[in-house]
Amino acid sequence: MKKIYMGVAVVISSLVVGCSNSSISVNGVEITKEDYEKTFEIILATDDYLDKIPGENIENQIKYFMINNEVVYQVAKENGFTCNEEELKLKYAEIEASINSNSSYKAKIQSIGVNEGYILTEIKKDLVIQKYRNNFEQNINITEEDLKKYYNQNIDKFKFEEVNPSHILISSKYEKGKLIKIAQEILYKINDGESFEKLAIKYSDDRESGKNGGNLGYLKKGDKNIEFSNIAFKLGKGEISNIIETSYGYHIIKLNDRKEYIESFEDSREDIKKFILDEKYKEHVEKLNKNADIKVK
């Protein structure tokens, strides 16, 4: 699921230390304690960001994230990059629909004061940053030799894990209280020894997988929404989850199998290109930071 547009140009690094309780300014523009705390809470509420940030450095990483965004945003504006009202409206509608599709996430971000004005401000900044980044990447020439060299030197990045889960989905045919009650009754039956597969056939509102006992086939991380993937990839073979909620309803997940493999060079081409562009962009942002007046007090 798409979350609030927080930092399209995020560059994660472990270089910044010791600034968790500091005040920051970037070329005279202050990053306030309130700005930091709101960003911190949004990232904590948005599980897919946490995978990118080492837990022991999370405060410093978020500060660095915010500094990078401000530096690039200022440079982008100086170079004439803007966004128009139509772009803002379209992106806001997309983000709003995404937030509304997940009631628990919506409640979390509303509780920390995220409103329409805040979201529009973040979208405007991120659209400008993304245009700047797109322009930067268009001027990068990546050869076939570059691609092969990167693949051979970073083979671990192309090692993947897949899981084969089954699930029973109780979706939004009834009010929320009724849904959770139905899901709990099914989980009781499973724990009492009834066949997961037979219960999926009988009860699952995902009829496509339900007719196969709930089997979803092999999945990579990202093939399903983040809430589902987080649980599926943590289960042991044969293990059954508790009830989890996603924007689709309530799920009970059973892990059938998991496997690892190395993706071929040909199948990795687009990912290799993205990795190279990410590294070059990170280097570029670090140069911008060196030329900026960044004060940490």
pLDDT for 152-182, tens place per residue? 999 999 999 999 999 999 986 667 778 899 9
Backbone dihedral angles phi then psi of residue 67, each to the nearest 5 degrees = -65, -45
Q: Output the pLDDT for position 62.
A: 81
Distance between CA atoms of residues 168 and 279, nearest Å:
41
pLDDT digits (tens, 9 = 90+) for 263-294: 999 999 999 999 999 999 999 999 999 999 99
Q: Which residue has the higher pLDDT, 14 or 58?
A: 58
pTM of the entire structure? 0.69
What is the arithmetic mean of pLDDT over 55-69? Answer: 78
pLDDT exceeds 90 at position 221: no
Nearest partner of 127 among 11, 9, 30, judged by Cα: 9
Output the average pLDDT for the chain: 86
Q: Output the pLDDT for position 281.
A: 96
pLDDT digits (tens, 9 = 90+) for 111-139: 888 888 888 999 999 999 999 999 999 99
pLDDT exceeds 80 at position 46: no
Q: Output the pLDDT for position 125.
A: 93
pLDDT exceeds 80 at position 252: yes
Nearest partner of 297 among 15, 22, 17, 20, judged by Cα: 22
Q: Output the pLDDT for position 172.
A: 65
Q: Output the pLDDT for position 1.
A: 37
